[in-house]
Each structure stands twice: as structure tokens, then as C-alpha cells.
Amino acid sequence: MSLVFAAPDPEAVPVHVIEQDGLEGWLAAQPDHVANWVIANGFTAALGSSCLVPSETSRIAVVLAGYGTAKARSRGRFHLAAIAMSLPKGIYRLEGLTEDRVEEEALGWLLAGYAFDRYRSQKPAVAQLVAPEGVQALRAEAIVAGEVLTRDLINTPASDMGPADLEAACADLASNFGAEMAVIRGEALLEQNFPMIHTVGRAADQAPRLIDMHWGNTGPTLTLVGKGVCYDTGGLNLKPGASMGLMKKDMGGAATVLGLAHMIMALELPIQLQVLIPAVENAVSSNAYRPGDILTARNGLTVEINNTDAEGRLVLADALAFAAEDTPDLMISMATLTGAARVAVGPDLSPYYCDDASFVGALESAANKVADPVWRMPFHTPYEAMIEPGIADLDNAPKGGFAGSVTAALFLRRFAGDTPYAHFDIYGWNPAPAPARPKGGVGMGARALLEALPEMLKL
């Protein structure tokens, strides 16, 4: 995989990026044999098209990369990654990109080198790119490494990515960056007052656990909380088979916060970072928790269980309540939490909830800059009544089917206390291949958050 930039090479093949309305002018400035070759090959500079122009020795002299029109580009991202996938092995350098597009395209080129090959050989891009002028190479490579970690964790099936395996992945990350890590497992969760994490995970063979990682000694405090449901059968409210097929990705929130943590630590941001991951499997057994049960959370709130398939908010609730006890400067949860979010915005957008105008402004600006799209959803307080069942303080699965993502976010907000808080209800899966984003696990929102953190935390 070519997941890092190539060393500068004077013989790197130039890749000229040409918009459709600029092709005629570019051709006019070329020797006749080049112009004739390009025209004969039918190259129109349409988005995603390419043309390899040979030298007199039959080597590649130059690659033309079609960049289409602004309208065509608005329908996607990482456009040059598709061209990178088609190029033969070699070292290339970009020419003709505007300053506002070069970081996105360079990152996409690197991500084209990703393939999940743990179980079968794959064919990622083999064309290496020299870091373009203006691109911070080490930063881009750190971002790619974090994204690769996220994708690998999500893509790994539950047979090899249970709670113990997720713990091991966290331990590897902590070791790589000198972070401290503590883990509370099994019955110790009850002894240390994490009752809902224990309850959700107690039916599985692998014990439930709370993974707690700390890094950094100075600066503002940031806590990332990731849903680590390594497989979700739905519990006693068993999912139908068609809905269970992708449930290896139900730890996508944990995978995404770990990828973001990798980026933060690799770039040595001046913050104090905490990562909390409640890692469980929602299984079926004689001791599985039941519909109708009432649980008491870490912060004392009681929760009526109306659907055991709404388990993610339960494990997150204990972790959020624990994190809120120290009142970090910012707390963010990420979870593959509700199908309602997918219905609302589809698989490409990262829906998030936050009432802090400064957070929202920083995130929206960053998301546009780094091509990591997000969409703000409402903490609609009048819907609080929908999560109050009467018999207990909270209902984990309100009846009626309305506003499922909103009510889940409102549920989580009850456990954040007075801490500045944002929640991401992500999908974590790319259902169809796209440039730099093969079908499978994918990080969502992490790059936007990384870009926005300096403004959010006043670094």
C-alpha cells in the first residue's frame, strides 16, 4: 500500500490536472505530436478521465487528469483518487491544482492506497505521489494512518474483533504513543458502578469492559467516547437476519474515535485527551437483559428497557456520566446509533448534535475545508417527553418511530451533565465503492473534528 508520500524525485511523472474549459488552451501550448495524441485518444478532460502521453522512448511523459467542471466536482470528492487507481506503478507529481483543492486531492491519492487484505489479497493503487507544494506531508500521513486504523477495525469481523480484540487494539495504540490505559472488566463493572455496560454485555462469552485511555499532561481537556458494540444481535429483541449482516460495524463509533485519537497523538496536539470505549457484545443467553427491565445508570437515573436492540445508548450513558464527573472542556460521543439517522441523511453525511454555536461554526467550516461532510441535527427539547415513560426516568426505545435519532441524542444528553457536549450518530460504512473510499468501513467526522479542534479548544 502507498499510504505515505514518495520522496521527491526529479524524474516523477507530472500529472497535469485540467478542467474541461481549460483543455483547449492547454493543447494550444503543446507540440503538435502531443496535441494530436491527446485528441486521437478522445480525451475531453471530463471528470475522472485520464490520458497517458508517451515519451519518445515509450515511457510515460505526462499524465493528463480530467477535472471536469465545478458542477461535476460538487457531486463528489477525492476525484483524483480514481485516476490514481488506474495508473501503473511509478512516482508522480501533481500540477495545475488550485491551492484550495490540493490538500483534498493529495489525501485522496494516499487513501487510494488502502485495501483491507487481512483475509484476501486486494489491489490498491500502486502509483506513488510526491507531496505537493503547500501540503503538510506529515499531517496528511497521520490523518491517513488514523483513517486506516478506523477502516481496519470496522472491516474486521466480530470473530476477530470482540471486546478483548478491541481492547488489544486500544492497547497497541496507547503503547505506540506512550498513553496510559486502564480497563474495567466483567463483575468489576458492577463494583465500580458501571451497571448498564455490565448489563448489556453480560450475556456474551467475552466479558463487557470499559476501556479508559489518557494521553497528554497539559492543555485543555477533551474526552472522546466511542460506542464499542462489537456485535449486535439485538439481544432478546433479536434482529432479523437481513438487519444483522453488517453488525460487525456496530463498534464504528469506537473505531472512529480511535482513528481520531491516533491523529491527535501523532500530531502532538497540545491537549489532554481521554478516550472511553464501552466494549461489549449484545448477545442472547439465559442471562440477557429483558424488555421491561428497569436499570439504574451510573448517575442514578432509571431506564426502562422497551427494546434490547437500543443498547448503544445504554453503554454510552454510563461512559458519558463517568466522563462528566471530571467536567472536561469538551466531550464528544461517536456511535453507529440509529437507523433513523441513516434514513434522514444517508450514508455519506455525518449527522451531529450540538447546541454550542462556536462548536457548530468551527465544525461546519472545517468540514467544508477538508471534504468531510457533516449535517447538524436538532437537540429538540420538546421531544424530551418522548423519552420519559413514567414508570422510570427514561425510556431507551420510545414507541411510535418518530425522530429516532433525535430521541437517542436527547437520551445521551441526560448523562453529559454540564459538560460542553456534541454527539455524532454516524453510519461508519461505505455501501458502494467511491474514489478513496472502497466499499466497507469508513471514518466519518474525524477529519472535520481534527481540523476544528484548535478553534474549539482555543489552542
pLDDT at position 2 is 74
CB atoms within 10 A of CB 414: 19
Which amino acid is present at 133? E
Radius of gyration of the chain (CA): 24
Question: What long-range pairs does 73-78 form, CB within 8 A, spacing at least 24?
Answer: 73/47, 76/434, 76/435, 77/104, 77/108, 77/371, 77/435, 77/436, 78/104, 78/105, 78/107, 78/108, 78/111, 78/112, 78/371, 78/434, 78/435, 78/436, 78/437
Residue 440 pLDDT greater than 60, yes or no: yes
DSSP, residue by residue, 103-169? HHHHHHHHHTT----SSS------EEEBPPTT--HHHHHHHHHHHHHHHHHHHS-TTT-SHHHHHHH
Per-residue pLDDT of 113-135, as tens digits, reads: 999 999 999 989 999 999 999 99
CB 95 within 8 Å of CB 132: no
The fold for domain 141-456 equals Aminopeptidase (3.40.630)
Per-residue pLDDT of 305-332, as tens digits, reads: 999 999 999 999 999 999 999 999 999 9
Percent of the chain predicted with pLDDT > 70: 100
How many Å apart are CA 4 and CA 6, to the nearest integer? 7
pLDDT-derived band of residue 425, with 50, 70 and 90 as boundaries?
very high
pLDDT at position 407 is 98
DSSP letter, residue 18: E
> For residue 74, what is the enclosing H or E element?
none
Average pLDDT over the chain reads 97
Domain 13-132's class? alpha beta
pLDDT-derived band of residue 57, with 50, 70 and 90 as boundaries?
confident
pLDDT-derived band of residue 1, with 50, 70 and 90 as boundaries?
low
User: Cell numbers 507529481 label which residue?
Assistant: 93
CB 33 within 8 Å of CB 27: no
Per-residue pLDDT of 215-266, as tens digits, reads: 999 999 999 999 999 999 999 999 999 999 999 999 999 999 999 999 999 9
Q: Where are the beta strands (DSSP E) in 57-102?
A: 60-66, 90-95
Could you list the active site residues? Answer: 239, 313
DSSP letter, residue 446: H
Q: What is the mean pLDDT of residues 29-57?
A: 95
Angular region, 293: left φ>0, alpha ψ -120 to 50, beta rest = beta
pLDDT at position 131 is 97
CB 380 within 8 Å of CB 286: no
Q: What is the mean pLDDT of residues 55-69?
A: 93
Per-residue pLDDT of 330-377, as tens digits, reads: 999 999 999 999 999 999 999 999 999 999 999 999 999 999 999 999
pLDDT at position 156 is 98
Q: What is the mean pLDDT of residues 38-59?
A: 94
| Domain residue spans of the chain | 13-132, 141-456
Integer angstrom CA distances of residue 347 from 166, 419, 426: 24, 29, 8
Q: Helices H, strands E: what count in the chain?
A: 16, 19
CB 196 within 8 Å of CB 227: no
Per-residue pLDDT of 66-104, as tens digits, reads: 999 999 999 999 999 999 999 999 999 999 999 999 999
Q: What is the mean pLDDT of residues 172-177?
A: 98
Per-residue pLDDT of 254-297, as tens digits, reads: 999 999 999 999 999 999 999 999 999 999 999 999 999 999 99
